[in-house]
Amino acid sequence: MREQPNERIATDAIKAWKLTAQLIAIIPLLLTIAAFVVAYFFDFLSYWLGIVLAVFTVLECTITILIIPKLRWRRWRYQIYEQEIYIQHGILIVTRTVVPMIRVQHVDTQQGPILKKYGLATLQISTAATTHEIPALLEAEAADLRDQISELARVEQDDV
Protein backbone atom coordinates (compact mmCIF):
# COMPACT_ATOMS: atom_id res chain seq x y z
CA MET A 1 0.00 0.00 0.00
CA ARG A 2 1.18 3.47 -0.84
CA GLU A 3 2.29 5.79 1.97
CA GLN A 4 0.13 8.82 2.63
CA PRO A 5 1.24 12.15 1.13
CA ASN A 6 3.55 14.35 3.23
CA GLU A 7 2.52 17.89 2.27
CA ARG A 8 -0.17 19.69 4.25
CA ILE A 9 -2.29 22.70 3.39
CA ALA A 10 -1.82 26.01 5.27
CA THR A 11 -2.83 26.13 8.94
CA ASP A 12 -4.81 29.31 8.23
CA ALA A 13 -7.25 27.04 6.40
CA ILE A 14 -8.76 26.30 9.82
CA LYS A 15 -9.52 30.01 10.34
CA ALA A 16 -10.97 30.37 6.84
CA TRP A 17 -13.18 27.30 7.24
CA LYS A 18 -14.34 28.49 10.69
CA LEU A 19 -15.28 31.89 9.25
CA THR A 20 -17.19 30.20 6.42
CA ALA A 21 -19.03 27.99 8.93
CA GLN A 22 -19.91 31.04 11.05
CA LEU A 23 -21.40 32.79 8.03
CA ILE A 24 -23.44 29.72 7.13
CA ALA A 25 -24.58 29.35 10.77
CA ILE A 26 -26.42 32.67 10.49
CA ILE A 27 -29.21 30.90 8.56
CA PRO A 28 -30.30 28.46 11.34
CA LEU A 29 -29.85 31.25 13.90
CA LEU A 30 -32.26 33.49 11.96
CA LEU A 31 -34.74 30.61 11.60
CA THR A 32 -34.60 30.03 15.37
CA ILE A 33 -35.22 33.71 16.10
CA ALA A 34 -38.06 33.77 13.57
CA ALA A 35 -39.66 30.72 15.24
CA PHE A 36 -39.64 32.46 18.64
CA VAL A 37 -41.05 35.69 17.15
CA VAL A 38 -43.84 33.83 15.34
CA ALA A 39 -44.61 31.80 18.48
CA TYR A 40 -44.86 35.01 20.50
CA PHE A 41 -47.29 36.77 18.12
CA PHE A 42 -49.34 33.80 16.87
CA ASP A 43 -50.87 30.88 18.75
CA PHE A 44 -50.55 28.28 16.00
CA LEU A 45 -46.79 27.81 16.60
CA SER A 46 -45.45 26.41 19.86
CA TYR A 47 -42.35 27.63 21.69
CA TRP A 48 -41.15 24.03 21.56
CA LEU A 49 -40.33 24.44 17.89
CA GLY A 50 -38.10 27.39 18.78
CA ILE A 51 -36.44 25.41 21.57
CA VAL A 52 -35.80 22.46 19.24
CA LEU A 53 -34.38 24.81 16.62
CA ALA A 54 -32.17 26.49 19.27
CA VAL A 55 -30.74 23.12 20.35
CA PHE A 56 -30.17 22.17 16.72
CA THR A 57 -28.45 25.52 16.07
CA VAL A 58 -26.11 25.14 19.05
CA LEU A 59 -25.18 21.59 18.01
CA GLU A 60 -24.70 22.60 14.38
CA CYS A 61 -22.50 25.56 15.33
CA THR A 62 -20.41 23.49 17.73
CA ILE A 63 -19.78 20.76 15.19
CA THR A 64 -19.25 22.88 12.07
CA ILE A 65 -17.32 25.76 13.66
CA LEU A 66 -15.25 24.09 16.38
CA ILE A 67 -14.75 20.46 15.35
CA ILE A 68 -14.96 19.99 11.57
CA PRO A 69 -12.33 22.58 10.44
CA LYS A 70 -9.58 21.07 12.61
CA LEU A 71 -10.40 17.51 11.57
CA ARG A 72 -10.61 18.56 7.93
CA TRP A 73 -7.19 20.23 8.11
CA ARG A 74 -5.59 17.17 9.72
CA ARG A 75 -6.89 14.92 6.96
CA TRP A 76 -5.95 17.07 3.94
CA ARG A 77 -2.63 16.03 2.40
CA TYR A 78 -1.07 16.11 -1.03
CA GLN A 79 2.17 15.25 -2.76
CA ILE A 80 3.48 16.29 -6.17
CA TYR A 81 5.62 13.70 -7.97
CA GLU A 82 7.11 13.92 -11.44
CA GLN A 83 4.61 11.41 -12.83
CA GLU A 84 1.52 12.10 -10.70
CA ILE A 85 -0.29 14.21 -8.12
CA TYR A 86 -1.42 12.35 -4.99
CA ILE A 87 -4.30 13.91 -3.02
CA GLN A 88 -5.82 12.53 0.21
CA HIS A 89 -8.74 14.02 2.13
CA GLY A 90 -11.89 13.14 4.04
CA ILE A 91 -12.95 12.79 7.66
CA LEU A 92 -15.17 9.71 7.75
CA ILE A 93 -14.68 8.63 4.16
CA VAL A 94 -11.05 9.04 3.13
CA THR A 95 -10.55 9.73 -0.56
CA ARG A 96 -7.17 9.06 -2.15
CA THR A 97 -6.77 10.37 -5.67
CA VAL A 98 -3.84 9.94 -8.02
CA VAL A 99 -3.86 12.28 -11.00
CA PRO A 100 -1.35 11.26 -13.69
CA MET A 101 0.59 14.24 -15.05
CA ILE A 102 -0.16 13.07 -18.56
CA ARG A 103 -3.90 13.67 -17.90
CA VAL A 104 -3.54 17.25 -16.63
CA GLN A 105 -5.06 19.69 -19.09
CA HIS A 106 -4.70 22.93 -17.16
CA VAL A 107 -3.99 24.21 -13.66
CA ASP A 108 -5.65 27.22 -12.04
CA THR A 109 -5.48 29.06 -8.75
CA GLN A 110 -8.68 30.46 -7.29
CA GLN A 111 -9.20 32.90 -4.42
CA GLY A 112 -12.47 34.09 -2.90
CA PRO A 113 -12.88 36.89 -0.35
CA ILE A 114 -12.43 34.63 2.71
CA LEU A 115 -9.31 32.94 1.33
CA LYS A 116 -7.95 36.35 0.30
CA LYS A 117 -8.42 37.63 3.88
CA TYR A 118 -6.00 34.93 5.08
CA GLY A 119 -3.62 35.05 2.07
CA LEU A 120 -4.72 31.65 0.80
CA ALA A 121 -5.64 30.24 -2.62
CA THR A 122 -7.11 27.01 -3.97
CA LEU A 123 -5.26 25.07 -6.65
CA GLN A 124 -7.51 23.49 -9.29
CA ILE A 125 -6.15 20.70 -11.48
CA SER A 126 -8.33 19.92 -14.50
CA THR A 127 -8.33 16.71 -16.48
CA ALA A 128 -10.65 15.69 -19.30
CA ALA A 129 -12.97 13.94 -16.82
CA THR A 130 -13.03 16.19 -13.77
CA THR A 131 -11.38 18.91 -11.70
CA HIS A 132 -9.38 18.18 -8.54
CA GLU A 133 -8.71 20.78 -5.87
CA ILE A 134 -6.08 21.36 -3.24
CA PRO A 135 -7.72 23.99 -0.99
CA ALA A 136 -6.25 26.71 1.19
CA LEU A 137 -2.62 26.85 0.14
CA LEU A 138 -0.53 29.94 0.81
CA GLU A 139 -0.75 32.23 -2.22
CA ALA A 140 2.93 31.92 -3.14
CA GLU A 141 2.87 28.14 -2.60
CA ALA A 142 -0.22 27.80 -4.80
CA ALA A 143 1.43 29.84 -7.57
CA ASP A 144 4.62 27.77 -7.32
CA LEU A 145 2.67 24.50 -7.42
CA ARG A 146 0.64 25.74 -10.40
CA ASP A 147 3.83 26.52 -12.29
CA GLN A 148 5.49 23.25 -11.21
CA ILE A 149 2.51 21.10 -12.27
CA SER A 150 2.19 23.01 -15.52
CA GLU A 151 5.86 22.39 -16.27
CA LEU A 152 5.67 18.69 -15.34
CA ALA A 153 2.47 18.19 -17.38
CA ARG A 154 4.04 19.91 -20.37
CA VAL A 155 7.10 17.66 -20.16
CA GLU A 156 4.85 14.59 -19.94
CA GLN A 157 2.88 15.65 -23.00
CA ASP A 158 6.10 16.26 -24.92
CA ASP A 159 7.16 12.67 -24.18
CA VAL A 160 3.98 11.23 -25.74
Each of the 160 residues of the chain gets a pLDDT tens digit; together they read: 788 899 999 999 999 999 999 999 999 999 999 999 998 998 777 888 889 999 999 999 999 999 999 999 999 999 999 999 999 999 999 999 999 999 999 999 999 999 999 999 999 999 998 999 999 999 999 999 999 999 999 876 665 5
H helices present in the chain, as ranges: 12-24, 26-41, 47-61, 68-75, 113-117, 139-159
Range of the domain at 23: 7-73
What's the whole-model pTM score?
Answer: 0.86
Region for residue 133 given its phi and psi (left: phi exceeds 0; alpha: psi -120 to 50; beta: otherwise): beta
Domain's final residue, options 73, 97, 126: 73
If asked whether residues 62 and 99 sit together in one domain, one would say: no
Residue 104's CATH number: 2.30.29.30
Q: What total number of domains does the chain contain?
A: 2
